[in-house]
Amino acid sequence: MGQTVFIPRELDANEPRVAASPETVKRLVGLGFEVIVEKGAGLGSRIIDQDFAAAGAAIGKAADASKADVVLKVRRPADAELKGYKPGAAVIAIMDPYGNDAAVAAMAKAGITAFSMEFMPRITRAQVMDVLSSQANLAGYQAVIDAAAEYDRALPMMMTAAGTVPAAKTFIMGVGVAGLQAIATARRLGAIVTATDVRPAVKEQVQSLGAKFLAVEDEEFKAAETAGGYAKEMSKEYQAKQAALTAEHIAKQDIVITTALIPGRPAPKLVSAAMVASMKPGSVIVDLAVERGGNVEGAQPGKVVTTENGVKIVGHLNVPGRVAASASLLYAKNLYAFLETMVDKAEKELAIKRDDELVKATMLTDGGKIVHPNFAKATEAPRTEPAAIAATIMVADASDKPAAKKTVAKKPAAAKSPSSKSKGTA
């Protein structure tokens, strides 16, 4: 069919992942595509150009994007990249559109058909395309590895002739895909693990991994999950009660890992400064939501902060990218599985079915317009990267008393399609 798929090298110096693997290149060639991989695109993920070439790809340069019918990326294209794409090209990536209306508008103006992989609906046929799950799984694993490195003590209990080394107490806040993997990894390393989440359905999963579940299990808790399986934003009264419960618990922990994100919203603050101050010197907190404002008061994006009382707050960016060789292989399979659904096998050409539920859920721009309902108001303003969305403190300080129990009107969930998901949410 003569159609071309282009795999660029990511421009962000902090993004080592790549949107293809030798395996997916081979499969793309099998579908009838000509595949061009930019020179050096896979080096950050330990994939050399020769491996891509052996799988059937041509090794090219950035300018080759101008002839591509499909561009597979990790991150949203920058202005310089958009200028090099031909109108009508399908661009598939993790677009991170929330709070970036100008960037969405820029993609529409460029005339590309942009797909946001993090909006993939959680249905059976799309499980293999779920980039949030594939990347969050590795983020949860890496969070424990990073915590162990900063903790500089052994995690498992060790009984020796010279004495006993106690097991590290680890607390996981937020039990999505990342949280579950963090629980499993910490347990494998021998830590004593507890976990909390506002969704009642995860209690059994936590216990099945050998961890203890901690939560205020009232009536609001029983209804604290959306139809799409995500956590709802809880009332201030519930947050205060949960804060009171967790404050005492956190003070006794050696390691705390937070993973909580709400689609399209700033990350909820789960750990206050007072809670951090209550922890022992040498304790470690890993904030996996730092790119969305953070779950931990005092966390700084891209930094490891040591507080006055000797607690380390780890705020690494792009945590899946810290395991790039594994993350890229999974992400590449996610992209290939989605692209394959848009290929006419008989004609061997790209045939986007705009009424398909996967396409409708993930398509951001098409034909020069913003087509996703969540971003219909994005303006055609010149593209500028906005400042980080400020998050408000969503739990009470450890010193606050829990609110008196009373009937509270539930705050309605933010309007969104069931498929809307934020980066890193799982």
Residues with a catalytic annotation lie at 122, 127, 130, 133, 230
| The dihedral sign for the CA sequence 51, 57, 63, 69 | negative
Nearest to 9 by CA among 51, 44, 54, 34: 44
CA atoms within 13 A on the CB side of 210: 14
The DSSP letter of residue 338 is H
- Which amino acid belongs to residue 103? A
What residues have CB less than 8 Å from 124, skipping those under 6 apart? Answer: none
Q: Which helix (H) or strand (E) holds 38?
A: strand 34-38
**Cα diameter, the chain:** 72
Q: Which helix (H) or strand (E) holds 94?
A: strand 90-94
Residue 259 near residue 179 (C-beta atoms within 8 A): yes
What are the backbone angles phi and psi of residue 31, rounded to the nearest 5°? -75, -10
Nearest to 24 by CA among 128, 156, 111: 128
